[in-house]
Structure 1
Amino acid sequence: MSDSLFKEGGPLGTRRIGPNDYEIHITIPPDSDGMVGRECTDPACSPGYFKVKPGTGITEGHVIAYCPYCRHEDEPGSFFTQAQKDYAIKILENETIKGVDNMIQDALGLGPSNRKKFGSGFMSIEMSYTPSRPNIVSRPLEEELRRDIICPSCGLEHAVFGLATWCPDCGTDIFLVHVEAELAVVRKILGAVDSRRSDLGARVAARDIENALEDVVSVFEAVLKVITKRYLLKNGVSVVEITRILNKVVRNSYQNVETAADTFRAQLGMELFEGISDSDIVELKSIFEKRHPITHNLGIVDRKYLDRALSGEMEGREVRVMVEDVEKALEISFSVLRRAYERI
């Protein structure tokens, strides 16, 4: 009878390393893009889930990995998701079941048929053994992430929810890379406007431009909230208080150039548009104001917009947003956000 529960070698590279110890290698299958999920080991971290592409980034001597959201440090092999752990456990259970079955069959001297007959003629006994049914092992369910990033420092290809800050491999602050990636999506939308106009008509193309402007404002607001949160955290403000400030004080003030400047000054004690020319500030304000009728009035110019934007457009007509407007807003916005982030 064999005293080995697991057969050495095989697809899992099983190796006996002690009387009762085995080393088994279980590979987590990647998704269709070659990425595997990872999860922060700090239970307080949210969202905590991200993906990395094996073979990119630090491939040798990698001893510390990082959460891209909270920069929690741990060993690279510690960031497995619960689904991946369950997947590995089921595979290990199946290997154990197979090993136990083999040991029982060997001990009882059963052949390939799992049957053994004793005696003959009028008196015989037949013994049979039915092996256990193995677990059905499905690949671990991975969440769909829409933001793919390549770390400029170590080359790690990874994907995250929202605007993360740090590279999971080298721990470098790559927040502005995330911001650039978000704005690059808007540029791609603008780059397709001519073909969309040709294929689907002027109204669809106009809506694409309007949506692109809304996206720029949304990125501007989201980044300023991240900057505000990070500044307050560094200055000892509690997470509970920061949440209250963002929800009750900041609210949607970062969607507007004037109120954004006031809020930034009040919360961080800094001038948001420091280093930005007056002409660029005026132009950004004018472009951002066009979002109001787009969001709240189906793109129709109303009196509130005319009063705020001091525009020469006519009430009741559709607000006019050009590709060039959004491109300029992209340029100025990133300059503002980059300067603000570098100061905290």
Structure 2
Amino acid sequence: MQLSYPLPRSPSGKAYQYSPNPSAAPRLFLIGDAPETRAISEEHRLAIRREPGPGQTVCPYSGFVADDDEFIHFSDIEAVKKQVAWEATADVEDHIADLAKSFNRRQGKSGLISIKMDFKPSRRPQPLAIREDLLRELTCSVCAREYAVYAIALFCPDCGAPGYGQHFEREVELVREQVTLADAQYEAGRRETAYRLMGNAHEDVLTAFETALKTLYRHLVRERLPDKAEGLLKKKQIGNAFQNIERGRSLFERIGIDPFHVLSEGDLELLRLNIEKRHVIGHNLGIADEHYVELTQSDQPGETVRLIGGEIERFADLCLRVVLDLERSLLPGQSEARETIS
């Protein structure tokens, strides 16, 4: 006989999952129930790693595929053990209480000596398993499965289709919302607050872009150069290389990819300018230094650099184009290095 217990759920109805792949930090993710009806379109079939549904799960951080049982979170196992123990104890106590009642009913009331069985149950509260939602919640654009991860992942945990670009699209959406908030502050006469919000939005673009490039690079190196991965992925080998076009391109060349081939020379110059502007905003309170002035040929040293919402959104869109093109490297059958330099 097999007993089945439902897994504890988060407030949004998702269950904890834990990747069996030890290299897939942070390993924890959440997955919701599958839609009642869904179908994979023919155009998306080349993107999936498995037919969505029960049986197997895909690690969203690494693409590792294994049976569903291997993804059960260790805290859920403990929660089930506590629930089983609590129910077993409650059943035993209920049985003893019934025995006591039966015994007491059989005792005569007219005798000189009366015996009564008294039983006090432990009244232990039922175990409570609390599960929290993660901040980044998404719905797979291919199989419609809802899931949640820490900030960024690469794949849908159900069908295994790449979800890398979808994460960055969410980052761009958040940047646009920040720009809107900054504009509202400016209209209300809070110019300094508006400038600070614009600066935060601008910084967030590069932070998200750097994280996206680094995450994909680390994954592809492990997949395509497993024998060299340990050395290539050391912290000192990567550093902040993805805050620089030339250094980032140099790292990706090791796996046969030019991440910036989709951008024109004009686009690259705009990207380079905004990367440098981010350093001025983040490390110099937005005050132009000699290096930035030399790059722009228009600003003056000591002046506050201009931040325009439309330019920040353009910066984000350029980064998104790069990310969406790189997402193709996550499609099934792309384990071999590809040359994209044009």
Tell me the SS of whatever aligns to 1:32.
coil
Match of 1:90 in 2: 82
Correspondence for 1:101 among 89, 93, 106:
93
1:122-161 equivalences in 2 (<5 Å): 122-142=112-132, 144-161=133-150
Contact 1:290 1:321 in 2 (8 A): no
Task: Please report how far the alpha carbon of residue 318 of structure 1 lies from its aligned counterpart in structure 2 after TM superposition.
Answer: 0.7
Q: Does 1:74 align with 2:66?
A: yes
List per-residue Cα deviations over 1:45-102 (Å, max 9, x = no partner).
3211111222438889522222211233333354332332222222222221122123
Match of 1:181 in 2: 170
Match of 1:338 in 2: 324
Match of 2:47 in 1: none
Structure with higher RCO (Cα < 8 A, 6+ apart) = 2
Q: Does 1:288 align with 2:275?
A: yes
TM-score w.r.t. the length of structure 2 is 0.81
**Greater share of strand residues, 1 or 2?**
1
Distance in 2 separating the partners of 1:185 and 1:156: 22
Correspondence for 2:260 among 273, 283, 286:
273
Match of 1:324 in 2: 310
One-letter identity of the residue aligned with 1:339: D
Contact 2:57 2:66 in 1 (8 A): yes
Match of 1:256 in 2: 244
Match of 2:290 in 1: 303
- Identity among equivalent positions (%) equals 27
User: For this pair of structures, how many residues does the alignment match?
Assistant: 316
Q: What RMSD over aligned residues (CA atoms) do the two structures have, in Å?
A: 2.8
Contact 1:115 1:127 in 2 (8 A): no
Task: Please report how far the alpha carbon of residue 199 of structure 1 lies from its aligned counterpart in structure 2 after TM superposition.
Answer: 4.4
**Structure 1 unaligned regions, length at least 5:** 1-20
Distance in 1 separating the partners of 2:252 and 2:131: 41
Distance in 1 separating the partners of 2:23 and 2:5: 28
Match of 1:171 in 2: 160
One-letter identity of the residue aligned with 2:284: N
Q: 1:58 to 1:64 in 2, by over 3 A?
A: farther
Tell me the SS of whatever aligns to 1:273.
coil
Tell me the SS of whatever aligns to 1:248.
helix
Task: Please report how far the alpha carbon of residue 206 of structure 1 lies from its aligned counterpart in structure 2 after TM superposition.
Answer: 1.4
Correspondence for 2:35 among 47, 56, 61:
56
Q: 1:275 to 1:127 in 2, by over 3 A?
A: closer
- Between Structure 1 and Structure 2, whose CA radius of gyration is higher? 1
Distance in 2 separating the partners of 1:83 and 1:275: 45
1:198-277 equivalences in 2 (<5 Å): 198-199=187-188, 201-233=190-222, 234-244=224-234, 247-265=235-253, 267-277=254-264
Contact 1:57 1:155 in 2 (8 A): no
